[in-house]
Amino acid sequence: MVFVQQVFTRADFILKETLTGLRRGGWMNWAAVSTLVILLFLFGFGTRLSWQLQNAVATLGSQLEVSVYLTPEASGKKLMQKVETLDGVQKVTLQTKKDALSQLQKEMGLKQDLTQTLEGNPLVDSLRVKVATPEQVTTVAEQLKAVPGVAQTRYGGEAANRLIQIDKTVRWIGLGVTGLLGFTAVAVITTTIRLVVLSRRKEIEVMQLVGAAPIWIYMPFLLEGLTLGLVAAMIAWGGLHYTDQFLAQQIQVNVPFMVLEITEEQANLLPWILVGSGVGLGSLGSLLAVSKYLR
Amino acid sequence: MDVPSSSRNLRSILSSLTEARPGERAFATKEVSSVLMPQGQTLALSETEKVIAYLHKVTKTYDKQGRSLSIDLDIRQGDFLFITGISGAGKSTLLKMLYGEEKPTSGEVVVDGTRLNKLRGHSLSCLRRRIGVVFQDYKLLPRRTVAENVAFALQAQNFPKAEIRRRLLPTLKIVGLEEKAEHFPEQLSGGEQQRVAIARAIVHTPVLLLADEPTGNLDAGNTWSVLEILRQLNDMGVTIVVTTHDETIVQAFAKRVVTFEQNQLVELDVR
């Protein structure tokens, strides 16, 4: 209770000192904030991209369908029965090359008969094989590959594996870049706060001599670092928000089939991660700056 | 020098400051009926012999050659103790050990019942709230007025605003600066600045006032007025420890004198 009371009686003092400190920091504040903004922006961007890829992987990986493309000579109808007997196969649907062509024609919006233009149907029969459980997808796909008449198989897991690779790369690069920038940011913040500490060393000395509690002496500096972190997090969040809108628009226009989404929880979590990292790095920087005076 | 004229006047000011509210600290009212001696015995001491701080079997290594000071000293309630010696003899080091700025290499430093040997952080600040320190270079904050400088000590110790107001003016009266409360340090003479520093050091009614070469930067007139204030505070019951290398003021003011002889602290016979 006493502590809470003290916090309130001293709040105006500490806030005033914090503002004075920020003013004394001058352009160094700008250096600190901009370094932090770049760091947090890249960190946020990387995190979001990683989430998007993971979500895509999850979607693809949970697909239970294997597409089987046959050789031009093979007949889907004949193969169907054989495929249906395979372990793990739940259901098989046939798409003949004739159906495939007319669907293609429809998708392309062509009125004329494609068989004439192309001199025959270049497509092949294909089977859509529905697998019972996600774990069986790969085995079924392997078995299908061995069946005579099967040219190739496609299933979501393959694409998922590729995305996992990309995600891994993104994360490693992200870790390296944010690690390096994090170090820089803390160094810049520490220097900034240390300059302010130096400009106030006389007051600090007097405060120590008259018995001010260390926490009251250093609180303004901690708050200062924290403020820098908070400001940087908000700017980075704004930047991320607008680049996200811009990218989503570009994707919609240029590659509409690409689905890169993050869940609502993730979207809500991202600003807190940025604020947390910004405030954390800011406080760490100021702690380092005052650590040698903390005795 | 506009030193407060009559001692009686000062006495009334001080007593108004020290009218003990329940549980509140006041000059000369601290009851230390017994002091735990280093040997572990508890000795009852008479009124005049209350030990409020002591350094017991203290050594302090001060250079790489391993040379060290050796100090045994009891500071009693009401002392006006002068520490003398040539510069570099260890006067300031001794004072620093009393307010926890330096730690002894061995031995025991106790002030007002608190052992200082390993005191740091919050406990150290709590101890310093019971001590006042005055320096040769005053250590005033240049951008704050006299009143703000004095109030700063109370603010730093979380005194309520009303209590700060109650203490400010009487304290400035003690050092004769109530007229200059709104002046900035640079508008004052050295002697006046040192009196502001003294006001700041006593405004929270400490049990012990330490002064490190308080007159080192002052001319004779100002030296005299500052020491006169210290003596009047001592008359009120404030225990004061002063370091100086100025023999004339020692002879004029000291009740007790200790000095360093070959790194050993010895007590001199004053009378």
Residues of A with CB under 8 A from a CB of B: 6, 9-10, 13, 202-203, 205-216, 294-295
Whether A172 and A234 map to the same domain: the answer is: yes
pLDDT: which is higher, B171 or B34: B171
Q: Do B99 and A209 touch (CB under 8 A)?
A: yes
Structural domain contains residue A154: no
Q: Which residues of A15-27 are buried (b: 16+ CB within 10 A; e: fewer)?
A: eebbeebbebbee
Same-domain check for residues A116 and A53: no
Q: Which residue has the higher pLDDT, B15 or A192?
A: A192
Q: Indicate whether A153 belongs to any domain.
A: no
Same domain, A192 and A221: yes
A147 falls within a domain: no
Q: What is the CATH number of the domain that holds A96?
A: 3.30.70.3040
Parse chain B into domains and list their residue ranges: 7-268
A165 in the same domain as A259: yes
How is A232-247 classified by DSSP, letter by letter?
HHHHHHHHHHHHHHHH
Residues A244 and A104 occupy one common structural domain: no
pLDDT at B44 over 70: no
What top-level class would CATH report for the domain B7-268?
alpha beta
State whether A55 and A31 are in the same domain. Answer: yes
Q: Which of A78, A112, A132 is the last residue of a domain?
A: A132
Lowest mean pLDDT among A1-5, A145-149, A230-234, B124-128: A1-5
Identify whether residues A40 and A185 lie together within a single domain: yes
Q: Are residues A167 and A280 in the same domain?
A: yes
ipTM surpassing 0.85: no
pLDDT digits (tens, 9 = 90+) for A159-207: 777 888 888 888 899 889 888 988 998 998 998 888 888 888 888 888 8
Asked if the structure places residue A155 within a domain, the reply is: no
In a domain, A4, yes or no: no
pLDDT value, residue A40: 92
Domain that holds residue A248: 11-60+160-291
Coil, helix or strand at residue A285: helix
CA–CA separation, B45 and A26 (whole Å): 59
Please state the rounded mean pLDDT for residues A272-284.
94
Structural domain tally of chain A? 2
> Searching chain A, which residue's CA lies closest to the CA of residue B134?
A209
Per-residue pLDDT tens digits for A59-111: 777 777 888 888 888 787 777 888 888 888 888 888 888 888 888 877 777 77
Return the residue in A2, A17, A206, A292 with the most chain B beta carbons within 10 A, the one to mutate for interface testing. A206
Q: Helix A214-254 vs helix A2-25: angle between axes, to the nearest 10 degrees?
A: 60
> Could you tell me if A278 and A183 lie in one domain?
yes
Measured in whole angstroms, the distance separating CA A75 from the mean position of its chain's CA atoms is: 45
Of A206, A214, A216, the CB nearest to B121: A214
Q: Are residues A228 and A280 in the same domain?
A: yes
Residue B254: closest CA among B111, B98, B90, B83: B83
- Whether residue A164 is contained in a domain is answered as yes
